[in-house]
Amino acid sequence: MATTTTAAVSPRLRAHRDTGRLCRRLQDNLLAYGFLAAALVCFGLFSWYPLVRSITLSLQQDNLVTEPEWVGLDNFRALFDDPLLGTAIANTVEFTGLALVFGYAIPIAMAILLNELRHFSTYFRLAVYLPVMLPPIVSAMLWQFFYDPGQGLFNTLLDGAHLPTSQWVQSPETAMLSLVLVSTWANMGGSTLMYLAALQSVPPELYESSELDGASLWKRIWHVTLPQMRFIMLVMALLQITATMQVFIEPFQLTGFTNPDTITVMTLIYRYAFAVNQDFGLAAALSVLLFVVLAAFAALYLRITRERTV
Amino acid sequence: MTTLTRVGRRRLLSSVAVTASFALLLGACGSDETPESSNGQVTITVNNMPPETEALQRKNFLDDIAAFEKANPKIKIDPKEGKMDPATFSAKLAGGQLENAYYVYFTDPAGLIARKQAADITPYVAGFPDIQQIKPNLLEVFGDGKGKQYGLPEGNYTMGLVYNRELFKQAGLDPNKPPATWDEVREYAKKISALGDGINGYGDYSKNNTGGWHFTAEMYTRGGDVAARGADGKWTAAFNNDTGKAVLQLLKDMRFTDKAMGEKQLLEWADLLQQMGAGKLGMYLATADNIPTIVSQYKGRTEDYGFGPVPGGQGTLGGGGGYMFSPKSSPEQIKAAMAWVLFRHADPARIDEGKKRDADNKQPVGLPEPNIFTGAAGATYDAASKKYANVPTENFAPFVAAQANIPLKVEPPNAQKIYAVLDPVMAAALTKPDADIPALLADAEKQVNAILATV
């Protein structure tokens, strides 16, 4: 817009111009309000309303026919009386812990490896990312075939190599680890690419100077790569915890919702709501509990990322 | 305000349009249509319409609707696919989308009645004399025990033993003599699994409630029970005893000592049908209606399968399905929906033509399934089944011969919750060589007693 010197402008003209400016601003903002309204409706309808509805549902006994009855904290009491809750929490924590050990370390190692590759790097990047493109239920069913202790792929290979076979998901000792492997295989592509992007933003002169100082590959990784990736690693750890605590597909498909060795918080919610109890209040109470725990991690994540970006 | 520029106006219009369209979209959700018009016309929704993949069954269903609407010009039927699925039921109910007549299994009514999620049809029963022809014990499944009626049965089944006649022959067993006792089951299973090639002698369930369901069925076959009602009217668990131990010990022995059940466990309903269809399974407990499914979905051959009575023969688990009615229906809709259910499933005058139609369409007729009728209608049904039979009925003769002497037992109250507790017990017996059976039963007993205390 052309600027004019204010001294030579009459008050009437200035008023007229101000009105024009206001109108223009309003026009622009009207458009923004229009778009904002659509977004707000979407968020309200699909995010906030279900959230509030879950909280109210957790305080009600609702058969969805007659008026819902407010029961205060009864659903939470029933929830804490259920011995399965402790089992499900312990299993979920175990899954999250194992997933951190495997699903966290493997993508970092993979990213470093891909970064060091000189040949076929495009092919390997694609290969690592491919499983992410499969619908989760499909990968779970695929692994069901791998894990079949009778004629499955893994035991056939192990048997052929004269190695001891495993019962995989059928034995309490190996069930959880088997589920973590499925989940890691299915999800590590995304994390690997994130780490790879972080790696490629490490200034090459750092490597050059360390090479001049005679640092070995391991020393370069330890003193240059990892410190440079500290922030993304922390963020990914938090994201991973919030994601793995909501594990559902793997235990649901491979071991079912009645198996105490692998029942997780999410499978228990499903069981309460749809499979066994048909009790939405109880399911909502457990959902609210999970939400509170996950919200704490999300808050931590937001705080860390905000500190970094400010 | 100055006039808007053309671009500005277009922007403004587009933003208003976006917002307005959302408002319209929201307004369109959740509107209940009024079902009745002033001239006595009534429109009802019903489910259980077969999907398009089952073209023939769907055509029959739609033909029945046309015939019904012709006979009842004031009723219009809007059919939907699917049955009562616990995963979507509540959402449909809350959204006003639940059909006026919806299909349920025998384990559903008690909970639906307790939660008031089904309409009380007691006032209308007298208006439908055909209901008198239905077996009273099946009507009771849809009652509250206090004289109120909430639904109508459509069909029922009893457990038997589905077995592969071909594998029996290969293992040197007589395909016309299925095992009569559980000891014989063990013996036969050993011989069948000795055929090798990944063939299992016997199969059983242990996942997503199917394990508990089969444990219950197996308790009944030995004259046992899962829940029993005391003199004071209170229910308690009844499986932590020698019968319960025998059920689990046999499974554990067949799985680990004889290696006759295959290593893959944690199976659910479709898994054994699939194994049977692939010719990899000797025997499993099931209902006769599994056979057409094995044939149509898992590529088995009808003539390969035999059907015998449950081993042990001291009791057989009975189940089935029927219709309940949406509590949000008007009295006219309930009456119209009841008329439709009775027309399609329980009209004695249509039994013969129904069986003829099935036979003409090469659908299995003559499977040994108990029918829902009593008295004259029952006799009509049996005669029509015989007249149009097109399945190798001689393969089901062992079941038919024994069935009359085996008492039918219904599932325990709160069945699904009990099955969920008994599932891991079955899973342990089938996956842990060192499973401690008494401890498993004692632990499950505590949990089941807690469930039954709320009945």
Render pLDDT for B363-396 as a digit per residue (tens, 0 to 9): 888 888 778 998 899 999 999 999 999 888 899 9
Q: B397-429 as b/e, with b when 16 or more CB fall inside 10 Å?
A: ebbbebbeebebbbbbbbbbbbbbbbbbbbbbb
Asked, for residue B293, whether it belongs to a domain, the answer is yes
A257 compared with A23, residue with greater pLDDT: A257
Q: For residue A122, what pLDDT is reported?
A: 86
Residue B416 and residue B281 share a domain:
yes
A20 near B CB under 8 A: yes
Whether A64 sits inside 8 A of B90 (CB atoms) is: yes
Range(s) of the domain holding residue B127: 12-158+319-395
Residue B305 corresponds to which amino acid? Y
- Cβ-defined contact of A259 to B427 (cutoff 8 Å): yes
**Residue-wise pLDDT tens digits, B107-149:** 889 889 988 999 999 999 999 999 999 999 889 999 998 999 9
CA distance B157 to A149: 34
- Does B131 reside within a domain? yes
* pLDDT value for B38: 56
Does residue A40 belong to the interface with chain B, where contact is any CB pair within 8 Å?
no
β-pair partners for B36? B42
Q: Indicate the pTM of the whole model.
A: 0.85
Distance CA A147, CA A262 (A): 15
Judge whether B3 lies within some domain: no
Q: Is B15 in Cβ contact with A30 (below 8 Å)? A: yes
- How does residue B2 score in pLDDT terms, banded at 50, 70 and 90? very low
CB contact, 8 Å: A276 with chain B? yes
Q: Share the mean pLDDT of chain A.
A: 89
**Which residue in this structure is represented by tokens 């400010």?**
A310
Q: What integer best gives the mean pLDDT of chain B? A: 89
- B455: three-class secondary structure by DSSP: coil
> Under an 8 A CB cutoff, do B12 and A34 touch?
yes
Q: Is A60 on the interface with B (CB under 8 A)?
A: no
d(CA A211, CA A216): 7
pLDDT at A304: 86
What three-state secondary structure class fits B197?
A: coil
C-beta of residue B338 within 8 angstroms of C-beta of residue B263: no
Same domain, B294 and B433: yes
Are B153 and B164 in a shared domain? no
CA atoms in the 13 A half-sphere facing the CB of A148: 15
What are B73-95's pLDDT values in tens digits?
Answer: 999 999 999 888 877 888 888 88
> Which chain B residue is nearest to residue A38, measuring alpha carbons?
B19
A95 and B CB contact within 8 Å:
no
User: DSSP per residue over B310-336, as a string?
Assistant: PTT-S-EEEEEEEEEE-TT--HHHHHH
Q: Where are the alpha helices (DSSP H) in B229-350?
A: 242-252, 269-277, 290-297, 331-345
* pLDDT bucket at A1, cuts 50 / 70 / 90: very low
Exposed e or buried b per residue across B266-288, where buried means at least 16 C-beta atoms within 10 angstroms of its C-beta: bbbbebbbbbbbebbbbbbbbbb
Q: Hey, what are B53's tokens?
A: 């993949």
Any chain B CB within 8 A of the CB of A23? Answer: yes
DSSP symbol at B305: E
**Closest CA of chain B from A171, distance in Å:** 7
Return the ∠ at Cα A87 (arms to B271 and A291), rounded to 5°.
100
In chain A, the residue whose alpha carbon lies closest to the alpha carbon of B260 is: A150
* Nearest CA distance, A276 vs chain B (angstrom): 6
Say yes or no: B330 and B405 in one domain: no
Dist CA B140 CA B153 (whole Å): 9
Name residue, tokens 């909280």. Answer: A55
- Give the pLDDT confidence of A278-293 residue by residue, as tens digits: 889 999 999 999 999 9
B435 and B386 together in one domain: no
B169 and B151 housed in the same domain: no
* All structural domains of chain A with their residue ranges: 2-58, 75-309
pLDDT band at B24 (very low <50, low <70, confident <90, very high): very low
Contact B90 A20 (CB under 8 A): no
Quick one: closest CA in B to A254, which residue?
A: B266
- Identify whether residues B386 and B409 lie together within a single domain: no
pLDDT band at B3 (very low <50, low <70, confident <90, very high): very low
Task: Report the residue from B8, B111, B262 with minimal CB separation from A27.
Answer: B8
Q: Report the percent of chain A where pLDDT is more than 70.
A: 96
Q: Are B86 and B201 in the same domain?
A: no
Average pLDDT, integer, range A190-205: 90
Q: Say yes or no to pLDDT of A103 above 90.
A: no
Both tokens of B12, joined, read 């403004």
The whole-angstrom distance between residue A283's C-alpha and the CA centroid of its chain comes to 21
Q: Which strand (E) or helix (H) includes residue A301?
A: helix A280-309
Q: What is the mean pLDDT of residues A128-149?
A: 93
Q: Do A259 and B266 touch (CB under 8 A)?
A: yes
Give the integer Cα–Cα distance in Å for A219 and A201. 19
- Whether B7 maps to a domain, the answer reads no
Question: In which band, very low, low, confident or very high, does the pLDDT at B37 lie, cut at 50, 70 and 90?
Answer: low
Q: How many domains does chain B have?
A: 2
Superfamily (CATH H level) for A75-309: MetI-like (1.10.3720.10)
- In this predicted model, what pLDDT tens digit does every residue of B228-273 receive, in sequence order? 999 998 999 999 999 999 999 999 999 999 999 999 999 999 999 9
Q: What digits encode the pLDDT tens for the residues A174-183?
A: 999 999 999 9
Q: Is the pLDDT of residue B48 over 60?
A: yes
What CATH number corresponds to the domain at position B443? 3.40.190.10
Per the DSSP assignment, residues forming a β-bridge with A195 are none
Per the listing, tokens 């499977």 go with B367
Residue A307 has pLDDT above 90, yes or no: no
The pLDDT, as a whole number, for residue B375 is 86
Lowest mean pLDDT of A13-27, A142-156, B209-223, name the range: A13-27
- How far B92 CA lies from chain A's nearest CA (Å)? 10
Q: Which tens digit of pLDDT belongs to each residue from A247-266? A: 999 999 999 999 999 999 99
* 365-394 of B, contacting A, C-beta below 8 A: none
Same domain flag for B348 and B365: yes
Question: Could you say which of B379, B395, B411 is where a domain stops?
Answer: B395
Asked whether the beta carbons of residue B22 and residue A37 sit closer than 8 angstroms, the reply is: yes
Does residue B344 lie in a domain region?
yes
| Other beta carbons less than 10 A from residue A117's beta carbon | 13
Residues 6+ apart with CB under 8 A from B311: B161, B179, B180, B181, B182, B184, B185, B221
Specify burial of residue B250 (Cβ count, 10 A radius: 0-12, 13-18, 19+).
Answer: buried
Does the residue B2 lie in any domain? no
**Domain boundary residue among B395, B414, B442?**
B395
Residue in the block written with tokens 């009775």:
B342
CA-based radius of gyration for chain A: 27
Does residue B254 sit in the same domain as residue B297? yes
For residue A224, give the nearest of A213, A239, A240, A236 by alpha carbon: A213
Over the stretch B418-451, which tens digit does the pLDDT of each residue have? 999 999 999 999 999 999 999 999 999 999 999 9
Residue B330 CB contacts under 8 Å (≥ 6 apart), including other chains: B35, B36, B42
